Amino acid sequence: MRRRVVIRTEERIAVHLELELAREGPGGARERALLENASPHGACVLTQYAHEPEERLWLRSRSGQALARARVVYVRPRHGRYAMGMELLLVDGEWSTLLSGGGAQTQHAS
């Protein structure tokens, strides 16, 4: 299979926000994760489980006010966890504010 090369053209913003990840489809497994950094079209998420590149996931803030659909671009081991590079396919709610550059301040989970 041919690998797709992704060139990042946007600066990432450091963001620390607890998320819930969910696989697509009925009964999709859910897990907690941490949003580490983001841009309007991409994000790095830390998780306990390795997901597969090209997998589609839903990302939701713990407050439930932000929702995004994303594609896993890469997965790399990091200190007993996994860092996943995500392409954001659809953003809604707080994501628009958080990732538009106006949300450049660090966010902490409540």
d(CA 50, CA 90): 22
> Tokens in use for 91?
């953003």
> Tokens in use for 104?
């450049």
pTM: 0.77
DSSP symbol at 108 = -
* Backbone angles phi and psi of 98, in degrees to 5: -60, -40
Q: Which of 96, 83, 91 is nearest to 37 (CA)?
A: 83
Domains of the chain, CATH where assigned: 13-95 (2.40.10.220)
Q: What is the pLDDT of residues 13-70, one digit of tens each?
A: 888 889 999 988 777 788 999 999 988 889 999 999 999 999 999 999 888 888 899 9
